[in-house]
Amino acid sequence: MSSATATGPLLSVQGVTRSFGALVALDDLSFDIERGEIFGVAGPNGAGKSTLLNVCTGTLKPNSGKIFFNDERIDGWSPHRLCHKALARTFQIPQIFSSLSVDENVAVGTLFGLGKKSIEGRTKREFRDEILAECGLDPRRDMMASTVDLLTRKMTMLAASLATKPELVFMDEPLAGFTTEEIDQMVALILHLRKRLDITFMIIEHKVRALTHMSDRIMILDHGQRICLDAPLNVMRDPRVVDIYLGSESVA
């Protein structure tokens, strides 16, 4: 079903469980992501955040439960099939081609992910130029990816994912390794892209204070279960969250 005719939430996770032997990483987890929102996910180490991301993006299959995207069931789909369906992801450690330029990395995203998606009469080059400009990368487009700093590498990875023309982008710790100034720049970029390109984001992040500044809602996981799902201010005030997470050293 296309996004033009879908009527429910953009992504719906329903009763998903994923185990690794005796370890239950996701335990009957359910939640929805609405169109156009920035949906934050946080929790202590071992809470199931990475497993959730991998299940939603096709790297892992759930043991049970269902996942719907634009009202179509997608659990168990391969990553490349999900990409062509308009799902994209980024990684904590930038996954880009160091031997290519920034521009060429974004071109790879266009070539791999666009498929038959409409780009409203633009050429692929024009669409790529737009993505580079929106991500603030145009001045650095000809630089080799091996020579740029971490912020630029992560921005390049994000731009390459946007070049596949996704509706939903999953981001795995986009702020990891950044200075305070770089955190502010990446948060501002994500907010800008959501507004300008009408992109929905699900963001897994340990830096909870920064996550509260950009998220419409935040879900806290612990031992694979949903502890809290609410507006950021309410999450930060929830005694359960303070007990299991916000008082720990991992909050930044």
pLDDT: which is higher, 41 or 236: 41
Average pLDDT, the chain: 92
Question: What is the CA 159 to chain-centroid distance, rounded?
Answer: 12
In this prediction, residues 28-38 reach a mean pLDDT of 97
First CA to last CA across the chain, in angstroms?
40
pLDDT, mean of residues 217-242: 93
Rounded to 5 degrees, what are φ and ψ at 201?
Answer: -125, 140
The H or E element containing residue 111 is: helix 102-113
Residue 29 falls inside a structural domain: no
* 139 and 239 housed in the same domain: no
pLDDT at 167: 96
Residue 92 lies in a domain: no
**Domain boundary residue, one of 146, 165, 184:** 165
Work out the pLDDT band at 187, boundaries 50, 70, 90. very high
Task: Choose among 69, 98, 66, 61: nearest CA to 8.
Answer: 69
Q: What is the reported pLDDT for 252?
A: 46
Confidence of residue 122 (pLDDT cuts 50, 70, 90): confident
The average pLDDT across 225-248 equals 84
**pLDDT tens, residue by residue, 196-215:** 999 999 999 989 889 999 99
Task: Check whether residue 130 and residue 198 sit in a common domain.
Answer: no
Assigned domain for 249 exists:
yes
Residue 6: pLDDT band (50, 70, 90) is low
Residues 79 and 121 in one domain: no
User: End of a domain among 150, 165, 180?
Assistant: 165
Whether 137 and 205 map to the same domain: the answer is no
Percentage with pLDDT > 70 across the chain: 94
Query: Could you give the C-alpha distances from 191 to 25, 82, 185, 188, in angstroms and in order?
Result: 30, 24, 10, 5
Please report whether residue 12 resides in a domain: no
Q: Is the pLDDT of residue 97 over 60?
A: yes
Select from 232, 133, 120 the least CA-distant residue to 165: 120
Are 150 and 248 contained in the same domain? Answer: no
CA dihedral sign of residues 56, 61, 63, 65 = positive
Percent of the chain with pLDDT strictly greater than 90: 82
pLDDT of residue 243: 82
Closest C-alpha among 170, 172, 183, 248 to residue 212 = 183
Does residue 249 share a domain with residue 204?
yes
Side chain identity at residue 219, one-letter code: M
Task: Give Cβ neighbours of residue 137 (< 8 Å, ≥ 6 apart).
Answer: 102, 106, 152, 155, 156, 159
**Total domain count, the chain:** 2
User: Is 49 contained in some domain?
Assistant: yes
pLDDT at 250 over 70: no
The amino acid at residue 168 is: L
Print the domain residue range for 193.
Answer: 35-61+72-86+166-252
Model pLDDT, residue 177: 94
Q: Please tell me which residue, 249 or 60, carries the higher pLDDT value.
A: 60
> Where does a domain end: 125, 142, 165?
165
Residue 4 has pLDDT above 80, yes or no: no
